[in-house]
Amino acid sequence: MPSVALKLYSVFFKFVFKHRLQNLIQSPIDESSTPYGVTTRTEESVSASNPSFTDGVATKDIHIDPFTALSIRIFLPDSSLSPPEQPDSKPNPHNHRRSSYGPTNIGAPKNDSRRSSLEGLNLRSDNNAYRGYSPSSQSCRKLPIMLQFHGGGWVSGSSDSVANDYFCRRIAKLCDVMVVAVGYRLAPENKYPAAFEDGLKVLNWLAKQANLAECSKSLGNGARGAGSEFTNAEFQRHFVDAFGASMVEPWLAAHGDPSRCVLLGVSCGANIADYVARKVVEAGKLLDPIKVVAQVLMYPFFIGNVPTHSEIKLANSYFFDKATCLLAWKLFLPKEEFSLDHPAANPLIPDRGPPLKLMPPTLTVVAEHDWMRDRAIAYSEALRKVNVDAPVLEYKDAVHEFATLDMLLKSPQAEACAEDIAIWAKKYISLRGHEFSY
Protein backbone atom coordinates (compact mmCIF):
# COMPACT_ATOMS: atom_id res chain seq x y z
CA MET A 1 0.00 0.00 0.00
CA PRO A 2 1.12 3.60 -0.58
CA SER A 3 2.78 5.29 2.38
CA VAL A 4 0.97 7.57 4.84
CA ALA A 5 2.94 10.55 3.54
CA LEU A 6 1.84 9.82 -0.02
CA LYS A 7 -1.79 9.48 1.05
CA LEU A 8 -1.69 12.83 2.85
CA TYR A 9 0.00 14.51 -0.10
CA SER A 10 -2.63 12.99 -2.41
CA VAL A 11 -5.44 14.59 -0.38
CA PHE A 12 -3.71 17.98 -0.57
CA PHE A 13 -2.96 17.54 -4.30
CA LYS A 14 -6.57 16.65 -5.18
CA PHE A 15 -7.89 19.62 -3.21
CA VAL A 16 -5.56 22.06 -4.98
CA PHE A 17 -6.09 20.53 -8.44
CA LYS A 18 -9.88 20.48 -8.11
CA HIS A 19 -9.87 24.09 -6.87
CA ARG A 20 -7.75 25.08 -9.89
CA LEU A 21 -10.13 23.35 -12.29
CA GLN A 22 -13.17 25.01 -10.74
CA ASN A 23 -11.50 28.41 -11.05
CA LEU A 24 -10.80 27.75 -14.71
CA ILE A 25 -14.42 26.75 -15.28
CA GLN A 26 -15.71 29.93 -13.62
CA SER A 27 -13.16 32.30 -15.18
CA PRO A 28 -14.23 33.92 -18.45
CA ILE A 29 -11.94 33.26 -21.41
CA ASP A 30 -10.71 36.12 -23.53
CA GLU A 31 -11.70 34.95 -27.00
CA SER A 32 -9.25 37.35 -28.66
CA SER A 33 -6.26 35.62 -27.03
CA THR A 34 -7.54 32.07 -27.53
CA PRO A 35 -5.66 31.23 -30.77
CA TYR A 36 -2.27 32.05 -29.25
CA GLY A 37 -2.95 30.26 -25.98
CA VAL A 38 -0.75 29.42 -23.01
CA THR A 39 1.67 26.56 -22.43
CA THR A 40 2.25 26.98 -18.69
CA ARG A 41 0.50 28.33 -15.60
CA THR A 42 1.92 31.19 -13.54
CA GLU A 43 1.52 29.24 -10.29
CA GLU A 44 3.72 26.37 -11.52
CA SER A 45 7.47 26.32 -10.97
CA VAL A 46 9.62 26.01 -14.07
CA SER A 47 13.26 25.13 -14.67
CA ALA A 48 15.45 27.47 -16.73
CA SER A 49 17.15 25.99 -19.78
CA ASN A 50 20.91 25.40 -19.63
CA PRO A 51 22.71 25.07 -23.00
CA SER A 52 25.89 23.65 -21.43
CA PHE A 53 26.51 20.11 -20.19
CA THR A 54 26.82 20.99 -16.51
CA ASP A 55 25.00 17.84 -15.35
CA GLY A 56 25.35 15.67 -18.44
CA VAL A 57 22.43 17.13 -20.39
CA ALA A 58 22.23 20.45 -22.24
CA THR A 59 18.85 22.08 -22.84
CA LYS A 60 17.44 24.86 -24.97
CA ASP A 61 13.95 26.26 -25.55
CA ILE A 62 12.59 27.08 -28.99
CA HIS A 63 9.33 28.84 -29.87
CA ILE A 64 8.55 27.13 -33.16
CA ASP A 65 5.23 28.71 -34.16
CA PRO A 66 4.90 32.52 -34.48
CA PHE A 67 1.10 32.28 -34.47
CA THR A 68 0.65 30.27 -31.24
CA ALA A 69 2.42 29.68 -27.94
CA LEU A 70 3.66 26.26 -29.12
CA SER A 71 7.25 25.66 -27.99
CA ILE A 72 9.69 22.84 -27.37
CA ARG A 73 12.57 22.11 -25.01
CA ILE A 74 15.45 20.04 -26.41
CA PHE A 75 17.40 17.76 -24.06
CA LEU A 76 20.78 16.75 -25.48
CA PRO A 77 22.86 14.22 -23.46
CA ASP A 78 26.65 14.46 -23.43
CA SER A 79 26.84 11.05 -25.13
CA SER A 80 26.20 13.00 -28.35
CA LEU A 81 29.82 14.17 -28.12
CA SER A 82 31.17 10.63 -28.45
CA PRO A 83 32.49 9.32 -31.78
CA PRO A 84 29.75 8.24 -34.23
CA GLU A 85 28.24 4.85 -33.38
CA GLN A 86 28.90 1.99 -35.78
CA PRO A 87 26.11 -0.55 -36.41
CA ASP A 88 28.47 -3.50 -36.18
CA SER A 89 30.40 -2.33 -33.13
CA LYS A 90 30.34 -4.48 -30.04
CA PRO A 91 28.85 -3.26 -26.75
CA ASN A 92 31.25 -2.44 -23.93
CA PRO A 93 31.10 -5.37 -21.48
CA HIS A 94 31.95 -3.01 -18.62
CA ASN A 95 29.07 -0.65 -19.29
CA HIS A 96 25.87 -2.65 -19.81
CA ARG A 97 23.62 -0.18 -18.03
CA ARG A 98 23.82 3.52 -17.46
CA SER A 99 22.67 5.03 -14.19
CA SER A 100 20.09 7.83 -14.21
CA TYR A 101 22.32 10.36 -12.51
CA GLY A 102 25.40 8.37 -11.61
CA PRO A 103 28.69 7.75 -13.46
CA THR A 104 28.34 6.78 -17.09
CA ASN A 105 31.18 4.29 -16.95
CA ILE A 106 31.69 2.55 -13.63
CA GLY A 107 35.31 1.95 -12.85
CA ALA A 108 36.62 4.24 -15.60
CA PRO A 109 39.47 6.62 -14.83
CA LYS A 110 38.49 10.20 -14.01
CA ASN A 111 40.17 11.63 -17.07
CA ASP A 112 38.23 9.54 -19.60
CA SER A 113 37.54 10.51 -23.19
CA ARG A 114 34.08 11.83 -22.46
CA ARG A 115 35.36 14.15 -19.74
CA SER A 116 38.00 15.38 -22.13
CA SER A 117 35.40 16.06 -24.79
CA LEU A 118 33.30 17.97 -22.29
CA GLU A 119 36.24 20.16 -21.38
CA GLY A 120 36.75 20.94 -25.06
CA LEU A 121 33.18 21.97 -25.82
CA ASN A 122 32.66 24.55 -28.49
CA LEU A 123 31.15 27.45 -26.56
CA ARG A 124 29.82 30.38 -28.51
CA SER A 125 29.36 33.85 -27.12
CA ASP A 126 27.84 36.58 -29.25
CA ASN A 127 28.01 39.79 -27.20
CA ASN A 128 27.19 37.68 -24.15
CA ALA A 129 23.70 37.08 -25.58
CA TYR A 130 24.20 33.33 -25.76
CA ARG A 131 26.71 30.95 -24.31
CA GLY A 132 26.28 27.24 -24.77
CA TYR A 133 27.07 24.19 -26.82
CA SER A 134 27.32 24.85 -30.56
CA PRO A 135 28.15 21.90 -32.88
CA SER A 136 31.20 22.55 -35.00
CA SER A 137 32.05 19.14 -36.43
CA GLN A 138 30.39 16.84 -38.96
CA SER A 139 31.58 13.81 -36.98
CA CYS A 140 29.05 14.38 -34.16
CA ARG A 141 27.18 11.30 -33.03
CA LYS A 142 23.60 10.94 -34.24
CA LEU A 143 21.01 10.09 -31.59
CA PRO A 144 17.42 8.88 -31.85
CA ILE A 145 14.78 11.55 -31.26
CA MET A 146 12.19 11.00 -28.52
CA LEU A 147 9.18 13.29 -28.81
CA GLN A 148 7.74 13.74 -25.29
CA PHE A 149 4.30 15.03 -24.29
CA HIS A 150 3.83 15.99 -20.63
CA GLY A 151 0.83 15.28 -18.43
CA GLY A 152 -1.35 17.59 -16.37
CA GLY A 153 -4.93 16.80 -17.29
CA TRP A 154 -4.91 19.09 -20.35
CA VAL A 155 -5.00 22.20 -18.14
CA SER A 156 -1.61 22.24 -16.39
CA GLY A 157 1.97 21.06 -16.68
CA SER A 158 4.57 22.27 -19.15
CA SER A 159 7.62 21.12 -21.09
CA ASP A 160 9.87 23.22 -18.82
CA SER A 161 8.32 22.43 -15.43
CA VAL A 162 10.76 21.28 -12.75
CA ALA A 163 9.29 17.76 -12.68
CA ASN A 164 9.17 17.36 -16.46
CA ASP A 165 12.70 18.73 -16.82
CA TYR A 166 13.99 16.18 -14.30
CA PHE A 167 12.12 13.32 -15.98
CA CYS A 168 13.29 14.22 -19.49
CA ARG A 169 16.91 14.50 -18.34
CA ARG A 170 16.66 11.03 -16.84
CA ILE A 171 15.15 9.59 -20.02
CA ALA A 172 17.74 11.32 -22.25
CA LYS A 173 20.58 9.72 -20.26
CA LEU A 174 19.09 6.27 -19.84
CA CYS A 175 17.77 5.88 -23.39
CA ASP A 176 20.72 7.74 -24.93
CA VAL A 177 18.36 9.90 -27.01
CA MET A 178 17.70 13.52 -27.83
CA VAL A 179 14.43 14.34 -26.07
CA VAL A 180 12.16 16.97 -27.60
CA ALA A 181 9.58 17.94 -24.96
CA VAL A 182 6.50 19.59 -26.45
CA GLY A 183 4.95 22.64 -24.79
CA TYR A 184 1.50 22.27 -26.30
CA ARG A 185 -1.35 24.73 -25.71
CA LEU A 186 -3.42 24.15 -22.59
CA ALA A 187 -7.18 24.10 -22.01
CA PRO A 188 -9.55 25.82 -21.49
CA GLU A 189 -7.90 28.64 -23.46
CA ASN A 190 -7.45 26.15 -26.29
CA LYS A 191 -9.81 23.22 -26.39
CA TYR A 192 -9.62 20.06 -28.49
CA PRO A 193 -8.04 19.60 -30.99
CA ALA A 194 -5.39 22.27 -30.21
CA ALA A 195 -3.08 20.05 -28.12
CA PHE A 196 -3.35 17.21 -30.65
CA GLU A 197 -2.63 19.53 -33.57
CA ASP A 198 0.37 20.94 -31.70
CA GLY A 199 1.81 17.45 -31.31
CA LEU A 200 1.51 16.78 -35.02
CA LYS A 201 2.82 20.26 -35.85
CA VAL A 202 6.03 19.54 -33.90
CA LEU A 203 6.53 16.28 -35.78
CA ASN A 204 6.10 18.11 -39.09
CA TRP A 205 8.56 20.74 -37.87
CA LEU A 206 11.08 17.98 -37.11
CA ALA A 207 10.63 16.60 -40.62
CA LYS A 208 11.14 20.06 -42.10
CA GLN A 209 14.26 20.53 -39.97
CA ALA A 210 15.70 17.24 -41.21
CA ASN A 211 15.08 18.23 -44.83
CA LEU A 212 16.51 21.71 -44.35
CA ALA A 213 19.61 20.30 -42.67
CA GLU A 214 20.14 17.87 -45.55
CA CYS A 215 19.65 20.63 -48.14
CA SER A 216 22.02 22.92 -46.27
CA LYS A 217 24.65 20.20 -46.11
CA SER A 218 24.29 19.29 -49.79
CA LEU A 219 24.21 22.87 -51.06
CA GLY A 220 27.04 23.85 -48.74
CA ASN A 221 29.26 21.09 -50.09
CA GLY A 222 28.32 22.07 -53.64
CA ALA A 223 29.16 25.71 -53.05
CA ARG A 224 32.54 24.89 -51.56
CA GLY A 225 33.26 22.42 -54.35
CA ALA A 226 32.44 25.03 -56.97
CA GLY A 227 34.86 27.50 -55.44
CA SER A 228 32.14 29.98 -54.58
CA GLU A 229 33.22 33.27 -53.08
CA PHE A 230 30.47 33.01 -50.43
CA THR A 231 31.67 32.57 -46.85
CA ASN A 232 29.84 30.09 -44.64
CA ALA A 233 27.93 32.93 -42.96
CA GLU A 234 26.94 34.45 -46.30
CA PHE A 235 25.88 31.09 -47.67
CA GLN A 236 23.76 30.37 -44.61
CA ARG A 237 22.10 33.78 -44.94
CA HIS A 238 21.31 33.19 -48.61
CA PHE A 239 20.08 29.67 -47.84
CA VAL A 240 17.80 30.92 -45.07
CA ASP A 241 16.48 33.72 -47.28
CA ALA A 242 15.58 31.16 -49.93
CA PHE A 243 13.32 29.38 -47.43
CA GLY A 244 11.75 32.48 -45.93
CA ALA A 245 11.83 32.45 -42.13
CA SER A 246 13.08 28.85 -41.93
CA MET A 247 16.21 28.17 -39.94
CA VAL A 248 18.24 25.04 -39.41
CA GLU A 249 18.33 24.09 -35.72
CA PRO A 250 22.02 23.20 -35.11
CA TRP A 251 21.50 20.60 -32.37
CA LEU A 252 18.98 18.68 -34.46
CA ALA A 253 21.09 18.99 -37.60
CA ALA A 254 24.24 17.72 -35.87
CA HIS A 255 22.83 15.09 -33.53
CA GLY A 256 19.25 14.16 -34.48
CA ASP A 257 18.46 10.96 -36.36
CA PRO A 258 14.91 11.37 -37.73
CA SER A 259 14.80 7.75 -38.91
CA ARG A 260 14.73 6.62 -35.26
CA CYS A 261 11.89 8.58 -33.66
CA VAL A 262 9.99 7.45 -30.55
CA LEU A 263 6.81 9.03 -29.15
CA LEU A 264 6.50 9.15 -25.36
CA GLY A 265 3.33 10.42 -23.72
CA VAL A 266 2.61 10.94 -20.02
CA SER A 267 -1.01 10.74 -18.82
CA CYS A 268 -3.00 13.02 -21.20
CA GLY A 269 0.24 13.33 -23.19
CA ALA A 270 -0.16 9.63 -23.99
CA ASN A 271 -3.45 10.46 -25.73
CA ILE A 272 -1.56 13.01 -27.83
CA ALA A 273 1.22 10.52 -28.60
CA ASP A 274 -1.29 7.93 -29.76
CA TYR A 275 -3.04 10.51 -31.96
CA VAL A 276 0.28 11.54 -33.52
CA ALA A 277 1.18 7.89 -34.12
CA ARG A 278 -2.10 7.36 -35.95
CA LYS A 279 -1.54 10.43 -38.11
CA VAL A 280 1.96 9.18 -38.94
CA VAL A 281 0.47 5.90 -40.16
CA GLU A 282 -2.05 7.79 -42.29
CA ALA A 283 0.62 10.12 -43.71
CA GLY A 284 2.88 7.30 -44.85
CA LYS A 285 5.93 8.64 -46.66
CA LEU A 286 4.71 12.23 -46.56
CA LEU A 287 6.62 12.71 -43.29
CA ASP A 288 9.93 11.37 -44.62
CA PRO A 289 12.60 11.28 -43.35
CA ILE A 290 10.76 11.01 -40.01
CA LYS A 291 10.10 7.38 -39.07
CA VAL A 292 8.24 6.63 -35.83
CA VAL A 293 9.65 3.26 -34.76
CA ALA A 294 7.86 2.94 -31.39
CA GLN A 295 5.71 4.71 -28.84
CA VAL A 296 5.52 4.64 -25.03
CA LEU A 297 2.19 5.36 -23.32
CA MET A 298 2.63 6.08 -19.61
CA TYR A 299 -0.64 5.65 -17.70
CA PRO A 300 -2.82 6.99 -20.57
CA PHE A 301 -5.70 9.37 -19.82
CA PHE A 302 -8.20 7.04 -21.48
CA ILE A 303 -11.87 6.93 -20.51
CA GLY A 304 -15.19 5.74 -21.97
CA ASN A 305 -18.95 5.76 -21.48
CA VAL A 306 -19.09 2.13 -20.34
CA PRO A 307 -17.03 2.00 -17.12
CA THR A 308 -14.40 -0.68 -16.66
CA HIS A 309 -13.78 -2.62 -13.44
CA SER A 310 -10.99 -0.27 -12.33
CA GLU A 311 -13.07 2.82 -13.13
CA ILE A 312 -15.69 1.58 -10.67
CA LYS A 313 -13.43 0.12 -7.98
CA LEU A 314 -10.78 2.88 -7.99
CA ALA A 315 -12.93 5.90 -8.84
CA ASN A 316 -11.68 7.73 -5.74
CA SER A 317 -8.04 6.79 -6.24
CA TYR A 318 -4.96 8.82 -5.38
CA PHE A 319 -4.06 12.20 -6.93
CA PHE A 320 -6.28 12.07 -10.03
CA ASP A 321 -9.70 10.66 -9.06
CA LYS A 322 -12.42 10.13 -11.62
CA ALA A 323 -14.61 13.09 -10.61
CA THR A 324 -11.71 15.53 -10.92
CA CYS A 325 -10.61 14.09 -14.26
CA LEU A 326 -14.14 14.50 -15.61
CA LEU A 327 -13.83 18.22 -14.86
CA ALA A 328 -10.59 18.28 -16.86
CA TRP A 329 -12.28 16.56 -19.80
CA LYS A 330 -15.11 19.15 -19.70
CA LEU A 331 -12.53 21.91 -19.89
CA PHE A 332 -10.72 20.24 -22.78
CA LEU A 333 -13.53 19.06 -25.05
CA PRO A 334 -15.82 21.62 -26.73
CA LYS A 335 -19.25 21.66 -25.10
CA GLU A 336 -21.00 20.47 -28.26
CA GLU A 337 -18.54 17.57 -28.64
CA PHE A 338 -18.39 16.40 -25.02
CA SER A 339 -18.58 12.62 -24.79
CA LEU A 340 -16.56 10.06 -22.89
CA ASP A 341 -16.45 8.06 -26.11
CA HIS A 342 -14.87 10.95 -27.98
CA PRO A 343 -11.96 9.78 -30.20
CA ALA A 344 -9.58 11.76 -27.98
CA ALA A 345 -10.79 9.87 -24.90
CA ASN A 346 -11.58 6.30 -25.90
CA PRO A 347 -9.00 4.50 -28.08
CA LEU A 348 -11.28 1.54 -28.80
CA ILE A 349 -14.34 3.14 -30.33
CA PRO A 350 -15.34 1.66 -33.71
CA ASP A 351 -14.03 3.20 -36.93
CA ARG A 352 -11.42 5.32 -35.16
CA GLY A 353 -8.80 4.45 -37.80
CA PRO A 354 -6.28 3.62 -39.02
CA PRO A 355 -6.24 -0.20 -38.61
CA LEU A 356 -4.52 -1.15 -35.36
CA LYS A 357 -2.26 -3.61 -37.16
CA LEU A 358 -0.46 -0.64 -38.73
CA MET A 359 0.37 1.02 -35.41
CA PRO A 360 4.01 1.11 -34.22
CA PRO A 361 5.25 -1.09 -31.35
CA THR A 362 3.63 0.29 -28.20
CA LEU A 363 4.79 -0.04 -24.60
CA THR A 364 2.09 0.74 -22.03
CA VAL A 365 2.90 1.62 -18.41
CA VAL A 366 0.11 1.30 -15.82
CA ALA A 367 -0.15 1.68 -12.05
CA GLU A 368 -1.98 -0.63 -9.66
CA HIS A 369 -3.96 2.19 -7.99
CA ASP A 370 -4.90 4.08 -11.16
CA TRP A 371 -8.58 4.01 -12.08
CA MET A 372 -7.70 4.40 -15.80
CA ARG A 373 -5.51 1.30 -15.92
CA ASP A 374 -8.03 -1.24 -17.31
CA ARG A 375 -8.77 0.72 -20.48
CA ALA A 376 -5.06 1.18 -21.15
CA ILE A 377 -4.55 -2.57 -20.74
CA ALA A 378 -7.50 -3.28 -23.05
CA TYR A 379 -5.97 -1.07 -25.74
CA SER A 380 -2.69 -2.92 -25.41
CA GLU A 381 -4.48 -6.25 -25.72
CA ALA A 382 -6.23 -5.05 -28.88
CA LEU A 383 -2.85 -4.18 -30.38
CA ARG A 384 -1.40 -7.58 -29.49
CA LYS A 385 -4.35 -9.34 -31.15
CA VAL A 386 -3.24 -7.88 -34.48
CA ASN A 387 0.41 -8.85 -33.86
CA VAL A 388 1.72 -5.46 -32.73
CA ASP A 389 4.47 -5.65 -30.12
CA ALA A 390 2.53 -4.08 -27.23
CA PRO A 391 3.68 -5.20 -23.77
CA VAL A 392 2.24 -3.83 -20.53
CA LEU A 393 4.38 -2.91 -17.53
CA GLU A 394 2.30 -2.79 -14.34
CA TYR A 395 3.81 -1.38 -11.15
CA LYS A 396 2.50 -2.55 -7.77
CA ASP A 397 1.52 -0.03 -5.10
CA ALA A 398 1.89 2.71 -7.71
CA VAL A 399 -0.44 5.63 -8.45
CA HIS A 400 -1.22 7.65 -11.56
CA GLU A 401 1.87 9.64 -12.66
CA PHE A 402 4.03 7.72 -10.14
CA ALA A 403 7.13 8.20 -12.34
CA THR A 404 6.59 11.87 -13.25
CA LEU A 405 5.06 13.67 -10.23
CA ASP A 406 7.54 15.95 -8.45
CA MET A 407 7.13 14.17 -5.10
CA LEU A 408 7.71 10.71 -6.58
CA LEU A 409 10.48 11.32 -9.12
CA LYS A 410 13.21 9.89 -6.90
CA SER A 411 11.25 6.87 -5.72
CA PRO A 412 12.54 3.37 -6.55
CA GLN A 413 9.47 2.75 -8.71
CA ALA A 414 10.10 5.88 -10.79
CA GLU A 415 13.75 4.92 -11.33
CA ALA A 416 12.83 1.34 -12.24
CA CYS A 417 10.16 2.54 -14.67
CA ALA A 418 12.61 4.79 -16.53
CA GLU A 419 15.13 1.94 -16.77
CA ASP A 420 12.45 -0.46 -18.04
CA ILE A 421 11.40 2.04 -20.70
CA ALA A 422 15.03 2.38 -21.81
CA ILE A 423 15.51 -1.39 -22.07
CA TRP A 424 12.39 -1.81 -24.22
CA ALA A 425 12.91 1.26 -26.41
CA LYS A 426 16.48 0.30 -27.28
CA LYS A 427 15.18 -2.72 -29.18
CA TYR A 428 13.90 -0.27 -31.79
CA ILE A 429 16.32 2.66 -31.63
CA SER A 430 19.67 0.91 -31.24
CA LEU A 431 21.74 0.62 -34.40
CA ARG A 432 22.65 -2.87 -33.25
CA GLY A 433 19.01 -3.79 -32.86
CA HIS A 434 18.77 -5.33 -29.40
CA GLU A 435 18.05 -4.13 -25.87
CA PHE A 436 21.60 -4.73 -24.61
CA SER A 437 23.15 -2.23 -26.98
CA TYR A 438 24.27 0.20 -24.34
pLDDT of residue 138: 55
Q: Is 267 known to be catalytic? A: yes
pLDDT of residue 5: 85
Which letter does DSSP use for residue 392 in this model?
E
Pairing of strands 392-395, 362-367: parallel
Are 371 and 321 a contacting pair, CB within 8 Å?
A: yes
Contacts of residue 13, Cβ cutoff 8 Å, sequence gap at least 6:
319
pLDDT of residue 82: 82
pLDDT of residue 327: 93
Q: Is 150 known to be catalytic? A: no
pLDDT of residue 401: 95
pLDDT of residue 218: 66
Catalytic residue among 71, 400, 430, 437: 400
Give the Å distances, CA to CA, from 406 to 9, 13, 49, 322: 11, 11, 18, 21
pLDDT of residue 396: 94
Contacts of residue 414, Cβ cutoff 8 Å, sequence gap at least 6:
402, 403, 404, 408
Count of all residues that appear for the chain in the document: 438
CA nearest to 78, candidates 95, 41, 53 = 53
Catalytic residue among 370, 374, 380, 430: 370
Question: What is the rounded distance in angstroms from the CA atom of residue 173 to the CA atom of residue 267?
Answer: 22
pLDDT of residue 225: 52
pLDDT in tens, the chain (438 residues): 778 888 888 888 888 888 888 888 887 676 555 789 999 988 889 999 999 998 999 999 999 999 999 999 999 999 998 877 665 555 444 443 333 333 333 333 344 444 444 444 555 444 444 578 888 755 678 999 999 999 999 999 999 999 999 999 999 999 999 999 999 999 999 999 999 999 999 999 999 999 888 887 766 555 455 454 555 555 555 554 454 345 789 999 999 999 999 999 999 999 999 999 999 999 988 898 999 999 999 999 999 999 999 999 999 988 999 999 999 999 999 999 999 999 999 999 988 889 999 999 999 999 999 999 999 999 999 999 999 999 999 999 999 999 999 989 999 999 999 999 999 999 999 876 554 433
pLDDT of residue 213: 83
Are 377 and 300 a contacting pair, CB within 8 Å?
A: no
Question: What is the rounded distance in angstroms from the CA atom of residue 98 to the CA atom of residue 172?
Answer: 11
pLDDT of residue 286: 87
For the entire predicted model, the pTM comes to: 0.85
CA nearest to 346, candidates 378, 369, 383 = 378
Catalytic residue among 267, 310, 380, 430: 267
Q: Is 374 known to be catalytic? A: no
